[in-house]
Amino acid sequence: MKTKTNQNKKQRYRKKIPYTIRYIAIGIITLLLLISLFNGYSAYQTPTTTTINAPILTYEHRGRFDYTIFLLNNTLYENKTLLRPEEGPFFRQLIDHINASFIYSFQTNQTATIHGNYTIDAVLQTNFWEKNYPLIERTSFTNQGKRASFIVQFPVEYPHYEQIYQTINDETGVAAQNPRLRFQANIVVSISTTDKTATSFFSQSIDMALGQKTIEFSETLTSMIPGTITEEMIIEQPEVINQRNTWIFFSVLFFIALPLFLFFTTSSKQVVSKTEKEIRKIKKKYGEWIVETQTPPKRSKTNVIIVNSLEDLSKVSEELGKPILLYHSSKNTTYQFYVLEDHLMYQYELKSDEKKNKVVAICPKCNKVNYYTGLPGKKIPIVCSNCGNPGIISIQ
């Protein structure tokens, strides 16, 4: 059988999908479209090239201060004429003089032209003032290869600087405190390769306290500083191009898919009758007492007692401790509730007040016009009154 309605004629090209499933599908397609657009936008915000600083040369500064303390004849250090670092303590009254040296080396990982200059200064420092005295004037050095170095020696004339300290105190009338003598080495190095030139700086110092009974130099004598010369390099990022193309493709795909899905589908929303809504409320309220059955209870030798409401029936069920049986036949619109107790059957019947619609159907086999009635939204079995051809129709 087939049903002829104007609505079916208009929408015969549209596929009916359950309401919930259709709107979930629309939401998923919309979400995928938004994700594709966002990722596409992000891909176009990402540059196709990136600049990195690639190391082209590494180097290392290394400096070491050293000193030798020459002794006067003494009983403490018998048979010794000099002391080296860490061989102290160095008593001032046993010292004849002190010589110091600075050893420096610069090393790279590849051949380059290494040009530099250095100075060594003596710095007299107190809590009020600081004075600088050049020991080694600016001196240059050059080497071609991977390494450059120099050694420079200088005397540690601490009595001379103690005299300067005392003179300044006398001139200023202020007894400056904590006098110290610092020896400062400053080196500037220029490294030149075939395609790059860079400059690096290195500084190192040691110091000692003045006016003390013993001479004590700072403990750290060696210093090492590494460095790197870098060059900017532009790196292509082909994966960004691939991402752009991919997300453009998906954006276009979902942009086309969404209106096509909306155009070629329609919602098939199940019509729920008032009676069915009432049954759902009843099941929710009395669900733990209700048992649905496929067949109605047998009535032979049973005394049927009709109750006025389901609430009355539930009271009987609670009193007797018996479940409420629910039977519903698809051939009628009534819902029957029972409570059984021996030869008694308490019954409540819920009838539907829904209006039935009339449907005209034409038999595809003999073209006989048939008329049927049923509740809206229901599918009912039918049989042609002329040829007996069976079928199923939906009530609109």
Domain boundary assignment for the chain: 2-47+237-268, 55-234, 274-351, 357-394
Q: Of 75-84, 118-127, 146-155, 233-242, where does mean pLDDT reach its minimum?
A: 233-242
Across 146-179, b (16+ Cβ under 10 Å) vs e yields: eebebebeeebebeebeebbeebbeeeeeeeeeb
DSSP-derived 3-state class of residue 69? strand
- Categorize the per-residue pLDDT at 4 as very low, low, confident or very high, splitting at 50, 70 and 90: very low
Contacts of 375 (CB under 8 A, 6+ apart): 273, 333, 352, 354, 356, 357, 395
Angle between helices 274-286 and 310-320 (to 10 degrees): 30
Supply the mean pLDDT for the chain: 85
Supply the DSSP symbol for 93: G
**pLDDT average, residue stretch 210-235:** 90
- Tokens for 254, please give them: 């979902």
> In this predicted model, what pLDDT tens digit does every residue of 103-146 receive, in sequence order?
999 999 989 999 999 999 999 999 999 999 999 999 999 999 99
Neighbours of 46 (CB within 10 A): 12
Per-residue confidence at 359, pLDDT binned at 50, 70, 90? low
Confidence (pLDDT) at 328: 80
Angle (nearest 5°) at CA 252 between 247 and 256: 145
Distance CA 111, CA 147 (A): 8
Cα–Cα distance measured from residue 224 to residue 217, given in angstroms and rounded to the nearest whole number: 19
Indicate the DSSP class of residue 178: -
Bigger pLDDT: 290 vs 269: 290
pLDDT (mean) for 270-278 = 69
pLDDT for 13-69, tens place per residue? Answer: 677 788 788 889 889 999 998 999 999 889 888 888 888 888 888 999 999 999 999
| Cα separations in angstroms, 203 against 66, 125, 207, 344 | 16, 18, 14, 111
The predicted structure's pLDDT at residue 309: 84
Over residues 169-188, the pLDDT tens digits come to 999 999 999 999 999 999 99
Question: What DSSP state is assigned to residue 365?
Answer: T
CB 85 within 8 A of CB 270: no
Distance of alpha carbon 101 from alpha carbon 346, whole angstroms: 118
pLDDT at 1: 44
| Model confidence at 387: pLDDT above 80 | no
pLDDT-based confidence at residue 237 (cuts at 50, 70, 90): confident
For residue 235, what is the enclosing H or E element? strand 222-236
Do the beta carbons of residue 139 and residue 199 sit within 8 Å?
Answer: no
CA 24 to chain centre: 29
**33 with 254: CB under 8 angstroms?**
yes
CA separation for the pair 281, 266 (Å, rounded): 29
What's the CA dihedral at 155, 156, 162, 164 to 10 degrees?
A: 40
- In DSSP terms, 58 is beta-bridged to 228
What torsion do the CA atoms of 157, 159, 162, 164 make, to the nearest 10 degrees? Answer: -70
Q: What is the CATH number of domain 55-234?
A: 2.60.40
Three-state SS for 342-356 is CCEEEEEEEECCCCC
Q: Are strands 369-374 and 222-236 parallel, antiparallel or unpaired?
A: unpaired
Residue 174 CA: distances (Å) to CA of 128, 156, 208: 9, 26, 22
CA distances for 253 relative to 187, 257, 265, 287, angstroms: 66, 6, 18, 48
